[in-house]
Amino acid sequence: MHSGDFYRNGKFAYKLHQRDIKRSSRLTFRVSIQDKIIYTITKMVQNKSVNFVEVPTGYPVKDKTMKLVTGEIDLEQKLEDGAVIVKVLYVSIDPYQRGRMRDASIKSYAPAFKLNAPIDNGGVARVVKTANSSYKEGDVVYGYFQWSEYQVISPQEAKALRVVENKEGLPLSHYVGALGMPGMTSWYGLTLGKQEKGKTAFISAASGAVGQIVGQLCKRRGMYVVGSAGEDAKVDFLLNECQFDAAFNYKKEGPRDALKKYCPNGIDLYWENVGGETLDAVFEAANDFSTIIACGMISQYNTTEPYGVKNIMNIVAKRIKMQGFIVLDEFDGQWVQDFFAAVPGWIKNGEMKVKEDIAEGLENAQDAFIGMLQGKNFGKAMIKVAQE
Amino acid sequence: MHSGDFYRNGKFAYKLHQRDIKRSSRLTFRVSIQDKIIYTITKMVQNKSVNFVEVPTGYPVKDKTMKLVTGEIDLEQKLEDGAVIVKVLYVSIDPYQRGRMRDASIKSYAPAFKLNAPIDNGGVARVVKTANSSYKEGDVVYGYFQWSEYQVISPQEAKALRVVENKEGLPLSHYVGALGMPGMTSWYGLTLGKQEKGKTAFISAASGAVGQIVGQLCKRRGMYVVGSAGEDAKVDFLLNECQFDAAFNYKKEGPRDALKKYCPNGIDLYWENVGGETLDAVFEAANDFSTIIACGMISQYNTTEPYGVKNIMNIVAKRIKMQGFIVLDEFDGQWVQDFFAAVPGWIKNGEMKVKEDIAEGLENAQDAFIGMLQGKNFGKAMIKVAQE
């Protein structure tokens, strides 16, 4: 907004002086002459998003499967009662999103992404405009957000937001990882299997967002904890920071041999993140009456030729309970209170370690997502969309 | 025992007349001259058995994997305190026995058969001699018996016998099938999954010993019950006698297409008896939050190249609980009383149908066992070793 000639519908209207322009809010300007408002100009704000544009075969391809687009948003728009506008701070990158990159006619537990619309996922955002009495401007909220800088959250969607209190003053990124969906997944998932002192827990993808918390929770509960990861640096993190009893690089030592070596007393609790060959090896190494908590099978998400699991008969022979779950089904339990009463404090006082892999800006979201599917991230993968 | 010359240690001793020989029990004879007992002759009884003689690759082979042998047993022998001698009436033929035909160095849930010793399994027998106050001569007992006509049951083994009361006067063969291990397996296994009115239960190998009872129990509990079998006659039995809602011949209609057709509302409870392709198809057809009760996977017992299950990721996506079990682990529960309070009565009054496939004599045991592994039996497979 500068002074100068002012045109209306392409036609010269009047000479505009700076004194005629008044900012009535952060983004709206009123143009008035002799105190008569002659025009209200809303500054449309640039709004970058990452859209889903094509169903991939195998791994997603940058700028083919997804596309970074720049749109505009009117941050001063009149909101429907109950709606809010948020500025996204962090959004999560998770393996299960690969499953949403499918033809919408195929049903699954999570809805398919809409073509030519932004990808969405869990994240943390700041409320910048509110027509909902549950959220005030400036609140940090946790919820499902688009991979966009700004967005309008409908009254219906707004009901699912949760205000982040963060009494401990932790980095807000933790509410996408250890204190967000992945951390809650770890806590809830472990309600499905016994954690007994001295018994062996094995966790695949153990340095990842969920695995690192699962392992540390099992350690706290007195178990002998073994993890697998795909890089030596991740193995070091598990051993030295998360205090696992053993960890191995499955690319260097095949899971079958490694489990014999590192789980000398067999496996009592397996946290399944990867599927495929590792799962087959676990069926061999599992003890009678063991539990497999099936959280995901990342090795299978990008393949058109799924691995054929050959040792599944052990479910009968060893009386194994294998249980799949999705944490979203169980969000109303007492366990949510238990989780928030315990974990933030442990992170604050350093008893629990958190490793994050943060990509800066939506410009880097595609590389980060594809890299995560290839196991290149080290710790909880997410995008920092804007400064806190 | 005939009169004639009597030799002792190869030497003529005396002329024996019929009057000198007295039978002092069913099988022992006393030879006396002038009321002085000069010899007690125990008649050794011929005792046929089926021995395990070689670890098979793939299907067992008649007279190669097993062998019919004829030995002798002294039925008048002095018994250790607590032991009994039994005459076997019926012994069971079960798929899990294939798993016991392995090298003894390989551990599994059921012990390997000993080479050159009789095969054993659940069965029904009559006590013919007893040194155990829990069992009197003539009692019919249920327990683990060798595939032999007669056998000495050690004091330790005798503890696990159970006297068959059979107040309902049912055929004793039922205590090998519907009222034995298979029937109890059905009842206990169903404690692991919800049976809700109108929900769909699918049972593979549904006309078999376990499947036929599972299906009829699910029907009684108000479910929509679908079964698969490998012959049209079995399908007819499921539809017409067991009153299943639908049944199909998986050799004529592949499980994937058949499940789409016969389970239009998906599958809520799958009773797994076969594994392989059927299990893969069930993972596709299963509903969210469904249960798979894993009782066995007969399609995999005789193969050296196990089927690779490709759709197991559905355990996560559909939050499936898959649970293996062995009924022997759970034999002390209240459910045992519940089972015997209910099922014999239902069979007696015709509410529950029982189909048995009985091979006559140990001579036919091998064919019956191999046939059962190939799905040739129709109903609960067993051997009638002796007349009741």
A306 touches chain B (CB under 8 A): yes
Residue percentage of chain A with pLDDT more than 90 = 80
Q: Between A295, A313, A319, which is nearest B297 by CB?
A: A313
Give the residue from chain A lying closest to B328, CA to CA. A319
Residues of B in contact with A260 (CB under 8 A): none
One digit per residue, pLDDT tens: chain B, 388 residues? 445 666 666 666 667 676 777 766 555 666 676 667 666 666 689 999 999 999 999 999 999 999 999 999 999 899 999 999 999 999 999 988 999 999 999 888 789 999 999 999 999 999 999 999 999 999 999 999 999 999 999 999 999 999 999 999 999 999 999 999 899 999 999 999 999 999 999 999 999 999 999 999 999 999 999 999 999 999 999 999 999 999 999 999 999 999 999 999 999 999 999 999 999 999 999 999 999 999 999 888 777 889 999 999 999 999 999 999 999 888 888 999 999 999 999 999 999 999 999 999 999 999 999 999 998 999 899 999 998 7
SS3 A239: helix
Q: Between A294, A314, A329, which is nearest B315 by CB?
A: A294
Asked if A275 lies within 8 A of B319 by C-beta distance, the reply is no
Burial label, A162 (beta-carbon count in 10 A; 0-12, 13-18, 19+)? middle
The owner of tokens 């499918």 is A102
* Residue B101 exposure: Cα atoms within 13 Å on the Cβ side: 27
DSSP string for residues in B311-343: -TTHHHHTT-EEEE--GGGGTTSHHHHHHHHHH
Residues of A in contact with B316 (CB under 8 A): 109, 272, 294-297, 324-326
Q: How far apart are CA B336 and CA B345, in angstroms?
A: 15
The owner of tokens 């943390």 is A124
Asked if A319 lies within 8 A of B275 by C-beta distance, the reply is no
Asked if A310 lies within 8 A of B312 by C-beta distance, the reply is no
Distance of CA A313 to the CA centre of its chain: 34
Residues of A in contact with B307 (CB under 8 A): 308, 310
Length of chain B: 388
Helices and strands, number each (H, E), in chain A: 10, 21
Asked if B310 lies within 8 A of A307 by C-beta distance, the reply is yes
CB neighbours of B104 closer than 8 A, spacing ≥ 6?
B111, B112, B114, B115
B331 touches chain A (CB under 8 A): no
Phi-psi region of B190 (alpha: psi -120 to 50; beta: other; left: phi over 0): alpha
Task: Catalogue all structural domains in chain A, each as residue range(s) with its CATH number.
Answer: 4-42 (no CATH), 45-177+355-384 (3.90.180.10), 181-330 (3.40.50.720)
Q: How far apart are CA B358 and CA B369, in angstroms?
A: 11
> CA-CA distances (angstroms) from residue A144 to A118, A153, B244?
12, 9, 45
A303 touches chain B (CB under 8 A): no
Cβ(B140)–Cβ(B163) below 8 Å? yes
The pLDDT, as a whole number, for residue B125 is 98
Asked if B313 lies within 8 A of A307 by C-beta distance, the reply is no
Of A228, A231, A216, A227, the residue nearest A186 (C-alpha) = A216
SS3 A297: coil
Q: Give me B209's structure tokens.
A: 């010993």
Q: How far apart are CA B224 and CA B200, in angstroms?
A: 5
C-alpha angle B298/B302/B305, rounded to 5°? 105
Inter-residue long-range contacts of B13-22, CB under 8 Å, 24+ positions, other chains counted: B13/B38
Of residues A310 and A32, the one with the higher pLDDT is A310
Q: Give me A212's structure tokens.
A: 């690192």
Asked if B316 lies within 8 A of A306 by C-beta distance, the reply is no
Place A1 in a pLDDT band, splitting at 50, 70 and 90.
very low
SS3 B189: helix
Q: Give me B240's structure tokens.
A: 């017409």
Q: How far apart are CA A264 and CA A262, in angstroms?
A: 6
Q: Considering chain A, what is the average pLDDT of its residues?
A: 91
B295 touches chain A (CB under 8 A): yes
CA distance A302 to chain B (A): 12
